[in-house]
Amino acid sequence: MSNNETNLETVIGQRQIVVPGLDLPVTVREMKWGDAIAFVRLLSKELAGLIGVDAAGRASLNLGKLPEIVASSDTLTTALVTASTGLTPEALASLPASSALEVLEAAVDMNLTEALLGKLRRIGGKVAGAFGAAPTPPAPPAAEPTP
């Protein structure tokens, strides 16, 4: 964490960062459910970059590419940052690039955690199992980093 951040994640699930170019600190929060669903809809258009096929011919998700896809997609980036900060797209676009990237990094850190992605994998495995697919066992939940 930079010296400009106040770590509030462990208390209330948010982080405040001071961003050059804005008069006030930006609060980055975990997205609300509706915003998260809208983000997933946008993300589904980018899934081709996440889907791979293993040696047995089974499809698998390479979630390690998720942050790269988010960072390279203006639509996804804007959706993630605006949903987790309340900034307007215009306010985001007017920030210096280094400041916008700092806000994006905080939004990715807050919303694409291993804990959240692990829940998604476990739910996906249960849904696949309900339809007779043999899901690969999900990775065990990762411990949250300590501040």
pLDDT at 137: 52
Give the separation between CA 48 and CA 65, rounded to whole angstroms.
Answer: 11
For 31, the 3-state DSSP assignment is coil
Give the separation between CA 49 and CA 6, rounded to whole angstroms.
Answer: 34
φ/ψ (deg, to 5) at 140: -65, 150
Enter the pTM of the model: 0.62
pLDDT band at 57 (very low <50, low <70, confident <90, very high): confident
pLDDT at 68: 75
pLDDT at 84: 93
- pLDDT tens-digit readout, 24-55: 788 888 888 889 888 888 877 776 667 777 77
Q: Is the pLDDT confidence value at 7 over 60?
A: no
Residues above pLDDT 70, as percent of the chain: 73
- pLDDT tens-digit readout, 80-93: 999 999 999 999 99
Q: Which of 35-39, 46-50, 68-72, 95-99 has the lowest mean pLDDT?
A: 46-50
